[in-house]
Amino acid sequence: MTTTQRLIKYALLYKNTLLLGIFLLLIAVAADVSGPFIAKKIIDEHIADATSINVKPLLMLLGLFFGLAVIAALFRYCQALLLQKGANRIIQTMRNDVYEHVQTLPVRYFDNLPAGKVVSRITNDTEAVRNLFVTVLANFAASGMTIIGIYIALFILDWRMAMIALLLIPILAIWIVLYRKIASKYNHVVRSKLSDMNARINESIQGMPVIQAFGQEDKMLKEFEESNDEHFRYQNKLLVLDAATSHNLVDTLQSLTLMAFIIYFGNQALGAEAAISVGLLYAFVDYITRIFSPVMGIVNQLPHLEKAKVSSERVFELLDEKGEPLTDETLPRYEGNVRFEHVWFAYNEPDYVLKDINFEAKKGETVALVGHTGSGKSSIMNVLFRFYDPVKGQITIDGDPITAHSRQAIRQHMGIVLQDPYLFTGTIASNISLNDPRITREKIEAALKAVGGERVIQTLPKGLDEPVIEKGSTLSAGQRQLISFARARI
């Protein structure tokens, strides 16, 4: 399925809202395009011939002209609200899908892609896609309908002049193809460098103590400036491309079209019949002036279209990453007899970290893994918790291979305490229960007491309700570990 087809699939989720908006837009365009016809009738029948002025019909036509202008404005306002509401709902759904999918991705995926780049795709890239639905498609729809309506009016007035005006279409089509071909390359670099900068910012904030402790501020700044400079260069290339073509192209086309009309009307006026009325001349000039406003609208939206196209590809690329869907599978609490049978594991083959590991930890036993740095102690925990799966061999719990069940089910009866515990924004209580509604406050207090953490509560003003900011940076390392112990104890 192509990127365009997938975007259409999202749009169809809210097709009723979008179709109603397009219908209102159609009415607004019809009312807007009818204006010059009424003006032609007023000029030819009530102004050009002063002897035939009839006040009542004239006032009726003027009232109709004004009424259509009001209808066009009102319906354009309503359609803009509907289209933008539908677009916002589409992006809301897309962001939820992306975030939900990220939760299913294996830990290995995040080894290869910095957190800042993932954040960039969920926020910046989906925002660019939002602009596609809110601004680009709305403008394309409005401009397209307006152009079609004006051409219909031109053919009704004079088919020969309408054929001359049709020359604008192939010129505009060729420009769109050429622009997209060039701008696509630039936008890929711009979005990529923006993602790189987000990754570096995230890395710098997370590692600020290390950066400052080892005096790496200048080095980090230099690396950021390199990405920022390249982002700046390609942004400028896009600006040059847009400035050199958009307004200049439309202004040139408008001048050429008006010149063609002047020549045509001049020849008609000099001809034997000279059947051109003042009202017809006004209507043509009005329509030709009007037609370049939607043309300008389409041309001006091309940069946003390309940004949205590149961003869409990046979002769907993330969605295409293979994940493991969350399941409701539950397992009865197992005895806890863990066995490693000829387990081989490598983060990057063929550099094996674990080589033919065999051991058994029986129920009730306490097992300590001792070894030098890099000997594979953490890797054993990683494969046991199924953050990664062994390359060869198998791990069983009570004789049942852990790969026979979902990762969530296997971890249901496991607890883990990391050397550097991670706490989430919330409270002490929410970090212990992880907002599981089945865990009561009494259970939280009992778990904290069981690990000797009641003194944590005593030293904090709000006890279990003490606010915790990201990573628990306002708490000591010991306090964070006790909270993590209580979390595992639950």
**Domain of residue 297, residue span:** 3-319
Angle formed by the axes of helices 278-319 and 217-270, to 10°? 150
> Alpha-carbon distance 157 to 151, whole Å?
10
- Is 412 among the domain residues? no
Instruction: Find the CATH number of the domain harbouring 392.
Output: 3.40.50.300
Instruction: Give the C-alpha separation, 340 to 319, whole Å.
Output: 34
Say how far residue 414 (Cα) sits from the centre of its chain.
Answer: 36
**Greater pLDDT, 396 or 39:** 396
Choice among 66-75, 79-88, 286-295 with the minimum mean pLDDT? 286-295
- Give yes or no for residue 219 having a pLDDT over 70: yes
**Residue 94 is encoded by which pair of tokens?**
């897309």
- Indicate if the pLDDT at residue 125 is higher than 60: yes
- 72: CATH: 1.20.1560.10
List Cβ neighbours of 276 (8 Å cut-off, separation of 6 or more).
265, 268, 269
Residue 334 — left, alpha, or beta (φ > 0 → left; ψ -120 to 50 → alpha)? beta
Structure confidence at residue 52 (pLDDT): 59
Residue 305 inside a domain? The answer is: yes
| Domain end among 290, 319, 348 | 319
The DSSP H or E segment spanning 40 is: helix 15-42
How many domains would you assign to the chain?
3
Q: How many residues does the chain have?
A: 490
Q: What is the pLDDT of residues 264-273, one digit of tens each?
A: 776 765 554 5
In degrees, rounded to 5, the angle at the alpha carbon of residue 296 between the alpha carbons of residues 35 and 150 is 30
Examine residue 370 and state whether it is found in any structural domain, yes or no.
Answer: yes
313 and 384 in one domain? no
Token pair, residue 362, equals 């029986």
Contacts of 237 (CB under 8 A, 6+ apart): 186
* Separation between Cα atoms, residue 52 and residue 45, nearest integer Å: 7
Residue 162 belongs to some domain of the structure: yes
Q: How far apart are CA 46 and CA 103, in angstroms?
A: 71
Mean pLDDT of the chain: 84
- Token digits of residue 376: 């594979």
Q: How confident is the model at residue 53 (pLDDT cuts 50, 70, 90)?
A: low
Please give the single-letter amino acid code of residue 340: F
Q: Give yes or no for a contact between 106 and 325, defined as CB atoms under 8 angstroms apart.
A: no
pTM more than 0.75 = no
- Do 101 and 203 lie in one domain? The reply is yes
Question: Are 245 and 379 members of one domain?
Answer: no
- Calpha distance 243→380 (Å, rounded): 58
My answer on whether 378 and 276 are in the same domain is no
- Give the pLDDT of residue 272: 47
Same domain, 14 and 92: yes
